Structure 1
Amino acid sequence: MLFARLHRLAIVVLLGFASGLPLALSGQAMQGWLTQSGLSLATIGFLTLVGLPYTFKFLWAPLIDRFDLPLFGRRRGWIALTQALLAAALWGISQLDPATQLGPFAALAVLIAFLSASQDAAYDAYRADLLPPDERALGASLNTLGYRLAMVVSGGLAFIWVDPAAGALSWPTVYRGFALTMLGAAVLTLAASPRLPRTLRPETDARRDLVGFAAVVAAVAAGVVLTQQVLEPAVQALLAPATPLGKKWADLAVLLLGLAVVGPLAAYTARRARFGTLLSGLNDYLAQPGAKAMLALIVLYKLGDAFSVSLLTPFLLTGVGFGSAEVGVANKLFGLWLSIGGALLGGLLMLRLGLFRALLAFAVLQGVSNLGFWWLAVQGAGQMGAVTVPAFDWTIVKLATETRLDGGLLMVVAIDNLCGGMGTAAFLAFMMALCQQRYSATQFALLSALASVGRVWVGPLAGVLAESIGWPTFFLVSIAFAVPGVLLLWALRAPISALDRPKGDTPADD
């Protein structure tokens, strides 16, 4: 029993690492490669759209629920397949020069993001099915550990490896190394990950599911075109913004209207096309007590936290005036490890507190921790002395010169990352508990898409507000954004507490 538990938790760490590794390879690392290749800022900005599959993965997650892969099982098979295809895509993009082969490069970048989002959908379902209720807390923490370590490697160490003063590797060489890593992950997934008990898969019409998926994708594309070609010109003409700030408010209105069009259009199309697995998965979820309120909680729980950190880098650099090296060391080396520590601490505390009390305590801490950024905005740097980090060379990471770190910055970053890490661990355990095994890929993809509302869509509003009301008031508003989530959480205390209890079904072995 103990060995089986340790085996499950170890696999969660390893698969969490494999899940987090490709994220920066279609984001920050790719932007670094494009910048060093001499591409314009406009081109690089356009290529940030390759990350859209992460937001829309719930559209094809039902296919992962519906279709089995021969020999390897529904969950493990999809994970290994996406990892192997990621290895091929990363190796392929390493053979291209973005300066002269931008079209193929962009196409492979989109493919990498699509495969990475698909791996996430399959792995999220596998993790939700694998861990019993009493292991979700530690599982969520260890998943965060693996995921964040992967982000350190692909989103941090990769930049050091290509630095002429450190690793002096080329970007293609780095990407080939990550391709081999993903291939190893695929082998490990098949060889070492535990088989799941056999669970019933959705018995919907396979052909209808494929047609429904294609119809929903077409509907989303039509909604985007409608927003760009009709709604955006109409809003700009109606509001006639005379200042750059006014134009940003108009852009925000266009974004909200676009979401109001695309969401209902996609839902209507799914019903008309009878996309069985998607509709059945959603209906199965909505049949649970308080399901709609739980969806609202998913959006609201980390909204205040996401709002406060959405513009953290420009705030620290220009709003307070810290140096880039100071911010980099504080956030990447100091803050990220504290975030991992917060996630592990959150998992341990959940074992004693239970899911509801942990969610409530960590939600309050997330909101209160934003007062640290308000204090920095009001008081500025230099209020608590400073410490000096000497130069170091640890082979895989290097600091060329000693760096001064403001004491107030360290304190605020420490509190924010510890509280945010604990909240993340509890939130992930909460989403796992909401998923039903038959539709766990569909449901977790939907829940994680809703959870990304704060991370992805709050940025435009945050930017407009920060320019309009100033940094101190901005961070006070971020605390207000955390209040609705706390109130809704309290109102849902009974159904959330019930999620800690096992469902009582014991399927036959696979």
Structure 2
Amino acid sequence: MTEFATTTRLRTPAGTWWLLGSLYTTQFLALGFLSVALVALLQEQGASMSRVSLIYLLGTVWAFKLLWAPLLDHFGWTRLGHYRGWLLLTQAGLVLAPLAMMALDPVVDFPAVYALAVLVAVLSATQDVATDAIACRTLPETERGLGNGIQTAGGLLGNLLGGGVLVMAYPSIGWSACMGWLAAGTAVSLAQLAWLSEPGQRLTPLAARTLYGRLRTFWPDAGGIGWLFVLLLFPFASGLAYGLVTPLLVASGWGMERIGLVTNVAGSLLSAGSALAAGWLLPRWGRRRALVMAAAINLFGSAALLAPWAGWGGVGGSDAALTLAVCLYFLCYTPLHVVLATLMMDRVHPASAGTDYSLQFSVFMLSSMGSATLAPLLTDALGMRDTLLVGAVAALASVVLAWRPRLSTPPAPATAPTPARPS
């Protein structure tokens, strides 16, 4: 496959871009709010840490979406559109769930609220599978970079609005009003779906058994163990650094309010901006150059967090320099996410788009979340500086590996899995 030519005119209609951005944003609105607000409310009421820990389990639902992604590829609606039907169903559920929570007290009625929160997590993960499948089948190769830039930026914006802005408004407007705003914001995407038209070619559903078999047969088609290793190594460095951002700032004497402002607000905005920029530049640079540049930028961002040990911030240093280092990290880690997501999209088959993409993204997410979880444990054993050095070495290895031409050029499409009779 040759590098993609520079394009200045988008083939995908503007309405589709707005819809994708809206879907990727609203899938995180309610989940972002509940993940932050419920923790704060339970802690204020003196709830046990075992109950508080239940909230953190909500985010792990996304790591398991590959288990039901094949069902979305297999079952569909002819009249509504195969994946459009799933989007209508999940988006409607994401509107109704907050409305159902309006009359509940988040502390007194915690079991019911938590059950609905789990439903929100499942619906948002399922909506993401369908949205990714639509994007894979709709966007031409030259526009997938921009599509994944919008995907990343939309998720960050949804978290910022739900887990940031609305959480800050909660003391003034209360629980019921917050639920109303979440439902209203999510309903915007539901209304936009009325104008969605799936790609013209009719999708012939594969047998469920064939689709679940893709969890095993996909990797040889995608590049084998080498591509699997890439999805494990590349996000490891940024995940390790992410797990140490807050501990680093706490150790430097920062208060939680200031940490939240820099990481949740400034960090999210910088990450969203760099994601959109990476998506715009990708077709102009080509896959290989973009992958090398994104890996190098990620190395720079991971290394920036070593600033306190170079005398540029923290104890005895400048807090402004430490702020700059953290902002550089958030600015530098999302381009690699965008490029890798685009390469994942290049490797999917239209008949198993949801399964293929979810499988790759779950591996990526497992490495990122796993390294962030591992970071404090490594810090106990090695110290914070040496743990960050481990991440920097992993980022450097990613830069070296990114030079391999085969990574940015997916293998020739394999023969499509044979459709079986509908089950």
TM over 0.5: yes
Structure 1 position 321 matched with structure 2 position 291: no
**Which of 278, 289, 296 is matched with 2:212 structurally?**
278
Structure 1 position 312 matched with structure 2 position 245: yes
- 8 A Cα contact 1:50 1:113, kept in partner: yes
Aligned residue-pair number: 406
Distance 1:439 1:14 in 2: 24
Structure 1 residue 36: deviation in Å? 4.2
Q: Which residue does the alignment assign to 1:333?
A: 265
Q: Which residue does the alignment assign to 2:221?
A: 288
User: Residues 133 and 152 (structure 1 numbering): CA distance in 2 closer, same or farther, change over 3 Å?
Assistant: same
For 1:301, what is the secondary structure of its paired residue? helix
Q: Any unmatched runs of 5+ in structure 2?
A: 1-8, 417-423
**Aligned 1:50-449 pairs, distance under 5 A:** 50-163=58-171, 168-189=172-193, 191-204=194-207, 209=208, 275-280=209-214, 282-283=216-217, 285-288=218-221, 290-317=223-250, 319-379=251-311, 380-381=313-314, 406-449=319-362
User: Residues 9 and 362 (structure 1 numbering): CA distance in 2 closer, same or farther, change over 3 Å?
Assistant: same
Q: Which residue does the alignment assign to 2:420?
A: none
Structure 1 residue 79: deviation in Å? 1.2
Distance 2:224 2:19 in 1: 30
Deviation string, structure 1 residues 369-411 (Cα, Å, up to 9, x no partner): 22221122452337775xxxxxxxxxxxxxxxxxxxx320232
User: Residues 73 and 28 (structure 1 numbering): CA distance in 2 closer, same or farther, change over 3 Å?
Assistant: same
User: Residues 460 and 338 (structure 1 numbering): CA distance in 2 closer, same or farther, change over 3 Å?
Assistant: closer
Deviation string, structure 1 residues 312-348 (Cα, Å, up to 9, x no partner): 112211x222233332222223222111121122123
Distance 2:84 2:215 in 1: 20
Q: Partner letter of residue 468 of structure 1?
A: A
Task: State, as a whole percentage, how many aligned pairs show the same letter.
Answer: 26
- 8 A Cα contact 1:310 1:458, kept in partner: yes
Distance 1:64 1:93 in 2: 27
User: Residues 138 and 2 (structure 1 numbering): CA distance in 2 closer, same or farther, change over 3 Å?
Assistant: closer
Q: Which residue does the alignment assign to 2:6?
A: none
Q: Between Structure 1 and Structure 2, whose CA radius of gyration is higher? A: 1
Q: Which residue does the alignment assign to 2:24?
A: 16
For 1:115, what is the secondary structure of its paired residue? helix
Distance 2:276 2:199 in 1: 25
Structure 1 residue 502: deviation in Å? 10
Distance 2:39 2:156 in 1: 19
- 8 A Cα contact 1:310 1:455, kept in partner: no
Structure 1 residue 56: deviation in Å? 0.6
- 8 A Cα contact 1:374 1:471, kept in partner: no
Distance 1:36 1:309 in 2: 26
Q: Which residue does the alignment assign to 1:496?
A: 408
- 8 A Cα contact 1:132 1:502, kept in partner: no
Distance 1:488 1:2 in 2: 31
Q: Partner letter of residue 357 of structure 1?
A: R
Structure 1 residue 4: deviation in Å? 4.1
Deviation string, structure 1 residues 432-491 (Cα, Å, up to 9, x no partner): 112111101011111111011123222342111112222211211111222443344334
Distance 2:372 2:335 in 1: 23
Q: Partner letter of residue 111 of structure 2?
A: G
Structure 1 residue 38: deviation in Å? 4.5
Structure 1 residue 66: deviation in Å? 0.1
**Which of 353, 367, 392 is matched with 1:479 structurally?**
392
Structure 1 residue 287: deviation in Å? 4.3
For 1:68, what is the secondary structure of its paired residue? coil
Larger RCO (CA under 8 A, 6+ residues apart)? 2
Of 98-107 and 70-79, deviating more is 98-107
User: Residues 88 and 21 (structure 1 numbering): CA distance in 2 closer, same or farther, change over 3 Å?
Assistant: same
Distance 2:244 2:175 in 1: 28
Q: Partner letter of residue 296 of structure 1?
A: F
Distance 1:429 1:375 in 2: 32
Structure 1 residue 280: deviation in Å? 3.9
User: Residues 443 and 476 (structure 1 numbering): CA distance in 2 closer, same or farther, change over 3 Å?
Assistant: same
For 1:300, what is the secondary structure of its paired residue? helix
Q: Which residue does the alignment assign to 1:256?
A: none
Q: What TM-score do you get using the length of structure 2 for normalisation? A: 0.88
- 8 A Cα contact 1:310 1:462, kept in partner: yes
User: Residues 50 and 14 (structure 1 numbering): CA distance in 2 closer, same or farther, change over 3 Å?
Assistant: closer
Q: Which residue does the alignment assign to 1:225?
A: none
Distance 2:402 2:131 in 1: 27
Q: Which residue does the alignment assign to 2:3?
A: none
Distance 1:427 1:381 in 2: 33
Distance 1:148 1:4 in 2: 23
Structure 1 residue 497: deviation in Å? 2.8
Structure 1 residue 81: deviation in Å? 0.8
User: Residues 289 and 187 (structure 1 numbering): CA distance in 2 closer, same or farther, change over 3 Å?
Assistant: closer
Q: Partner letter of residue 116 of structure 2?
A: L
For 1:311, what is the secondary structure of its paired residue? helix
CA RMSD in angstroms comes to 2.5
Structure 1 residue 498: deviation in Å? 4.9
- 8 A Cα contact 1:129 1:440, kept in partner: yes
